[in-house]
Structure 1
Amino acid sequence: MSDGIHLTTYHNAVKTWLDEQLPWLKVVDCYPEVKKTLQTPCAFFAVSDWDRADSQPMNGQLCVTLNCEILAVLGMADAQYQLEVRNAAMAIGLKIEGSRFGMPIKPAVFVSAEPDAFQPELDEYAVWSIRFNQDIEVGEDAFKPEGLTPTQVVVGYSPDIGKQNHDKYEQVIPDV
């Protein structure tokens, strides 16, 4: 499905997608490296690790299942911050399920959402972890055709073939 997705490309696509889909987030970044007070609500995206996927493409690429996490971070000034951080985690989880983040990859699969206490630099905030998995193919496709790849295939039947009969052709593979 992909032509060698690079992790940097994946991170940037997810960050951009989160920014576009969840405009109420003030900051979207990768991996929490907190050096100053955060503008909340915000989110941090990370690829925690990856495993070999059950299904392999057999084209020289390796299909891996990325284990991903988004940290939803809210301030604690609001009296209802516990409810608000849960609502934020639910909204993110709903958006994540089935998303491809604008790339030719398999859809994301929501796994879980739970409070997160493993980021000591975020102890001053209410934090929930939203986990999801996504299969991507890395490496180059050994069978990728050279040159232009057709985006449409049409068939004409004899004797109605040729330019003068183009309107009689049937499309057998839809436009991409």
Structure 2
Amino acid sequence: MIKIVPATAATDFAAVAQLYYDTWQVAYRDLVPAGYLDQLTPTTWHPEKRQNQTLLALAEDQLAGVCAFGPARDSRFAGAGELYSIYVHPAQQHQGIGQLLMQGALARLEPDFSSIYLVVLTNNLPARRFYEQQGFHATSQRKQTQTDFGPLEEAIYGRGPQFVKNND
């Protein structure tokens, strides 16, 4: 049985950071430069900073997934909500946990935001399909982040009146 619960001050945020790390090492292995993945550690992430904007998925009281969300961080999308991240431990994937996390985050965002967006690597086709199944669509907006190991190209996916569907 999967339980979706909000993070609290008592949350083991080191375990959450470890889940981020473990997921990145598997999910992004062939999507980002190897050097980029190699320089990551569990301390790369600081999930405790979003304690009040984080949901946890627990499978038999063990951390199986995490989702962070809140107001837009990108000024281009001021007034929208943002799904910051959603990660399911590789050993727990394809069991509906991501969908439960997404539903929980949207239930918290939708009362305050008529439009919601997220950022996803353009070459992360499984994630893009998942987001499309959850009612998001690709927009014409792109984001490129330059790293020491090469660029990361990201697509903006959105839902709601602020985000026009990309018909490319």
TM-score range with shorter-chain normalisation?
A: under 0.3
TM-score (norm 1): 0.26
Bigger radius of gyration, 1 or 2?
1
TM-score (norm 2): 0.27
Greater relative contact order, per chain length (Cα 8 Å cut-off, separation 6+): 1
Is the helix fraction higher in 1 or 2? Answer: 2
